[in-house]
Amino acid sequence: MDLLNAIVVLLNFVVIPAASYGAQLALGALGVTLIYGILRFSNFAHGDTMAFGTAIVILVTWAMQAAGIGLGPLPTALLALPFGIAATAALVLATDRVVYRFYRRQKAAPVILVIVSMGVMFVMNGVTRFMIGVDEIRFEDGARFLINATEFRKMTGLKEGLAFKTSQALTIVTAVIVVAALFWFLNRTRTGKSMRAYSDNEDLALLSGINPERVVAVTWIIAAGLAVIAGTLYGLDKAFKPFNYFQLLLPVFASAIVGGLGNPLGAIAGGFLIAFSEVGLTYAWKKVATYVLPESLAPDGLLQILSTDYKFAVSFALLVVVLLFKPTGLFKGKAV
Amino acid sequence: MSSTQNPWQEDRGNKDRSITRPGGSEIIDPETGHEAHPAPGTPFLLAENMTGGYGAADILHGCTLKVEKGQIAVIVGPNGAGKSTAMKAVFGMLKLRQGRVVLDGKDITHLSPQDRVAHGMGFVPQVNNVFPSMSVEENLEMGAFLRRDDFRETMEQVYDLFPVLKEKRRQPAGELSGGQRQQVAVGRALMTRPKLLMLDEPTAGVSPIVMDELFDRIIEVARTGISILMVEQNARQALEIADMGYVLVQGANRYTGTGQELLADPEVRRTFLGG
C-alpha cells in the first residue's frame, strides 16, 4: 500500500507535470531546431513568437466565448488555435521579408542573425504586451480535471490523491500528434525532404533545383505553428504571462542544444530531459521517501535538492555540461 | 569525414559561393535574361575562348573546350592550371569576361548554374557532393527534384549502374565509403537525365581499385549517349579512357588531342605524365 501511495505521489507531482512540461518544451525546441537547421541561426525571438501567438489565441478565445462557441469539456482555445497559427505565420513571414531576408542575401554570419533576432524579439515582446497587457491571464475553460484528486482517493481507497488536468492530457496527446505529423512531413513528403536536403547541403540543394525561398517560407510557417501550439498548451497548463514566455526561451534553447541543434529527434529528447531534471531536482522528495523507506530511515528534511526558484539554473547547468563534453548535443546535431 | 572536422565549426555546403551566384555570368545582357539562344553548327558542348576568374585577376586565358555527343573529354594539367576553374566556368559558376558556352546548339552563356541544370547539365562537385544525413534513395530523389514526371525508371537505371547503391539505399549517404559516396554523387547528377555530365575530380581520395571501377562506370554512362567532361588528377588513367584530352597550363590550352595521342606525345609524357 505504501509503495502504491509513493507511486501515486510520484506520478502526481513529478511524472505528469514533467511530462506535460517536457512536451511543451519539446514543441518549442522543435521550432528552434528547425530554424537553426534551415536558416542557420538561433532564433531568440522564438519565446516571444510563442507569446504573440498565444495572445492571439486568447483574444480569439474570448471572442468565441462571448459568441457562445465552445468545445464542451475541451478548452475553447483549441478552436482558436488555427487563428493564432495563421496570424503568427503571417507575422513571422512578414518579419522574414522585412528583416531576415536582407541578411540572408548578404550571407551574413550566423552571429549577426542571432543579434538581429534579438531585435525582433524586443519588437515582438512590445507588440504582445501592447496587444494584451502584461498581467497573468488564465484562459482555460471546459472540464478542468480528467482525474480528480478527491474522486481518485474515494475510488482507490489510497491515502494519496492523483490529479490529472485536462490541459496536461491535452498537452501530451497534442504533442504526440504534432510530432508524428512533423516527422511524417519531413521524411515522407517532397517539400519535407527538400527542407532536409537544404539543411544538409545548401549548395547541392540549389544545384538540385530546390528553391531556397520556398524552403525558408515553409520553415517559418511550421516554426510558427509549433510555437503557437507550444505556447497555447503552456498557457492552458499554467497561465499566460508575456514575461514567462520570454523566460521560457532558456529551457527551450537548452532542450534544443542538449538534444543537438538541428536534430528534431534531439529536440524532443532534450525537452523531456530538461523538464524531468528541472522538476526532479526542485521537487521535495520527503513524501515519497517516507512511503518507501522504513520508518527508522524516514528523512527529517524536505529532501529538496534545489528551491523551485532555481529551476532555470538546472537548464543552464545541463546546457553547460553538454556543451563542455558533447558540443554537438546528445543526438549529434550541428555544433553551436 | 565529419569526425576529423572541428565540431565547433560550421559545416554546410561546399563553401563555393559561386555555385549559388544568382544570375550566371557577369556579362548578362538584360534583354536576353535567362533565355538560351540557338547556335547551330557547333559541337555538342562548345566552351569557346573562355577568359575570366573569381575576382580581378583572370585565371582562364582564352581556354576552349569541346565535347562531342557521348564522348568523354578530360581536362588535365599541373596544379593551379585552372582545370576546375575551367569546368566551373562551363557550369556558369564564375565571371567570364570573354567567350561563350554552347550546349546542344543553344548559347547558354547567360544562364545561372541552376538554369543550366534545367538545360541538361549535370554537375558533380569535388567535395560535399551528397546530402550526408539523407538516405541514398533520398539523395537520388533530391537529384530528380526538378522533374515532375515519374523518375523511378531513372532511379532503376542508376541502381543498375551502381548495384551497391541499391543494396545501401536506406542508409544515410554520409555513412558510406568514399567511393560509394562518389557513386551517390554521380547518381544524383544522373537523376535529372543530363545531356552533359561534369565531374570535378571524381577519383580524388579513393583507392586505385575504386578508381578503376569508377572509370569503368563513367565509360558506361558515356555509352548511354551522355557526354562527359571531367577534371582529373590521375592524368594517365584518365587519358586512357578519354576520347578527347585537354592539357591546360596557366588557364590556357597547351596540348589538345585524343587521349591516345596525348599519351603518345613525348612532350606531354615528359612534362605532365612523369616520363
- DSSP line for A54-94: HHHHHHHHHHHHHHT--BTTB-THHHHHHHHHHHHHHHHHH
Residue type, A59: L
Residue A307 pLDDT exceeds 80? yes
Residue B68 CA to residue A333 CA, distance in Å, equals 45
Q: Cα separation of B214 and B224, whole Å? A: 16
> What tens digit of pLDDT does each residue of B80-118 get?
888 999 999 999 888 788 999 999 889 999 898 888 998
A70 burial (CB, 10 Å; 0-12 / 13-18 / 19+) is middle
Partner-chain residue, chosen from A200, A206, A209, that has the shortest CB–CB distance to B133 = A200
Confidence band, pLDDT 50/70/90 cuts, at residue A227: very high
Q: Which residues of B touch A208 (CB under 8 A)?
A: 117, 142-143, 145-146, 188
Amino acid A145: pLDDT: 87
Is residue A56 over pLDDT 90? yes
Closest approach of B139 to chain A, Cα-based (Å):
8
Q: Distance between CA B197 and CA B123 in Å, rounded?
A: 6
Residue A100 has pLDDT above 50, yes or no: yes
- Going by their DSSP bridges, the two strands B72-76 and B227-231 should be labelled as parallel
For residue B7, which amino acid is it? P
How many Cα neighbours within 13 Å face the side chain of A83? Answer: 16
- Chain A interface mutation, best of B117, B123, B137, B142, highest count of A Cβ atoms under 10 Å: B142
Higher pLDDT, A2 or A233: A233
Residue of A nearest to B188 (CA): A208
**Residue A206 contacts B where some CB pair is shorter than 8 Å:** yes
**DSSP-assigned states of every residue in B22-85:** TTSSTT--TTTTT--EE--SS-SEEEEEEEE-SSSS-SEEEEEEEE-TT-EEEEE-STTSSHHH
Considering A9-13, B20-24, B270-274, the range whose residues carry the highest mean pLDDT is A9-13
For residue B35, name the pLDDT band (cuts at 50, 70, 90): low
- Output A58 or B7, whichever has higher pLDDT: A58
A188 in B contact zone (CB under 8 Å): no
Q: Tell me, what's the pLDDT at B185?
A: 96
Above pLDDT 70, what percent of chain B? 85
Q: How many CA atoms lie within 13 A of A89 on its CB side?
A: 16
Half-sphere exposure of B140 (CA within 13 A, CB side): 25
Per residue in B185-239, pLDDT (tens digit) is 999 999 999 999 999 999 988 888 999 999 999 999 999 999 999 999 888 899 9
Measured between alpha carbons, how far is A241 from A129 in angstroms, rounded to an integer?
9
Position A311 scores a pLDDT of 85
The grid coordinates listed for B260 are: 591516345
Q: How many CB pairs under 8 A join A and B?
A: 91
As a whole number of angstroms, the distance between CA A168 and CA B169 comes to 41
Q: Express as a percent the part of chain B with pLDDT over 90.
A: 60
Distances (CA, A) of A294 to A9, A289, A297: 17, 9, 6
Neighboring chain A residues of B132 at a CB cutoff of 8 Å: 200-201
Instruction: Judge whether residue B19 has pLDDT over 60.
Output: no
pLDDT at B23 over 50: no
Please give the pLDDT value at position A290: 83
Question: Are B14 and A327 a contacting pair at CB < 8 A?
Answer: no
Residue B12 has a pLDDT of 57
Among candidate residues B114, B121, B117, the one with its CA nearest the CA of residue B22: B114
Q: CA dihedral in degrees (A122, A126, A127, A133; nearest 10)?
A: 140
The pLDDT-based confidence of A324 (bands split at 50, 70, 90) is very high
Identity at B77, one-letter amino acid code: G
Which of A108-117, A266-275, B13-22 is predicted least confidently? Answer: B13-22
Q: How confident is the model at residue A203 (pLDDT cuts 50, 70, 90)?
A: confident
Q: At B107, is the secondary structure helix, strand, or coil?
A: strand
Alpha helices, H only, chain A: 2-10, 16-39, 46-67, 77-95, 101-105, 110-132, 149-156, 166-188, 190-200, 202-207, 212-237, 242-259, 264-282, 286-292, 311-325
Q: Could you report the per-residue pLDDT of B123-177, keeping only the tens digit for each?
A: 999 989 999 999 999 999 999 998 889 999 999 999 999 999 999 999 999 999 9
Residue of B nearest to A332 (CA): B7
Q: Which of A200, A215, A326 to mutate to test the interface with B (most CBs of B within 10 A)?
A: A200
Look at residue A161 and tell me whether its pLDDT is greater than 90.
no
Phi-psi map region of B61: left, alpha, beta (phi>0 left; psi -120 to 50 alpha) = beta
| φ, ψ of residue B104 in degrees (nearest 5) | 50, 45
* CB A124 within 8 Å of CB A51: yes
Going from the C-alpha of B211 to that of each of A152, B150, B176, B234, the distances in angstroms are: 71, 32, 16, 9
Q: Rounded to a whole number, what is the distance in Å from the CA of B185 to chain A's nearest CA?
A: 10
Confidence category of residue A195, pLDDT binned at 50, 70, 90: very high
Q: How far, in Å, are A67, A221, A319 from residue A173 at the CA level? A: 28, 22, 27
**What are the pLDDT digits (tens) for A252-269?**
999 999 999 988 999 999
The confidence band for A292, taking pLDDT boundaries of 50, 70 and 90, is confident
Q: How far apart are CA B49 and CA A21, in angstroms?
A: 65
Selected residue with higher pLDDT from B30 and A174? A174
Give the count of alpha carbons within 13 A of B172, CB side only: 10
- pLDDT for position A77: 93
Angstrom CA distances, B77 to A57, B57, B205, B215, stand at 65, 20, 18, 18
Chain B residues whose beta carbon lies within 8 Å of the beta carbon of residue A327:
7-8
CA triplet A204, A209, A213: central angle to 5 degrees?
A: 95
Inform me whether the pLDDT recorded for A165 exceeds 70: yes
Q: How far apart are CA B89 and CA B18, in angstroms?
A: 10
Average pLDDT of chain A is 91
Of A33-37, B14-18, B64-68, the poorest mean pLDDT is in B14-18
Please report the pLDDT score of residue B270 as a whole number.
86
Return the domain boundaries, chain B.
14-70+80-120+240-275
Strands B60-67 and B45-52: antiparallel
Interface residues from chain B to A (CB-CB < 8 Å): 7-14, 16-17, 19-20, 113-114, 117-118, 123, 125, 128-134, 138, 141-143, 145-146, 188, 192
pLDDT number for residue A335:
52
Q: Residues B83, B87, B89, B93: is their CA dihedral positive or negative?
A: negative
Q: Please state the ipTM of this predicted complex.
A: 0.83
The H or E element spanning position B243 is none
> DSSP of A117-161, one letter per residue?
HHHHHHHHHHHHHHHH-SS-B----S-SEEE-HHHHHHHH--SS-
Q: Does A193 contact B134 at a Cβ distance shorter than 8 Å? A: yes
CATH number of the domain at B14-70+80-120+240-275, please? 3.40.50.300
Residue A274 predicted with pLDDT over 90: yes
Furthest CA-CA distance within chain A? 72
Mean pLDDT of B11-21: 53
**Which one, of A259, A225, A276, A277, lies nearest residue A332 by Cα?**
A259
Structural domains in chain A, CATH included, are 2-325 (1.10.3470)
Better pLDDT: A154 or A82 = A82
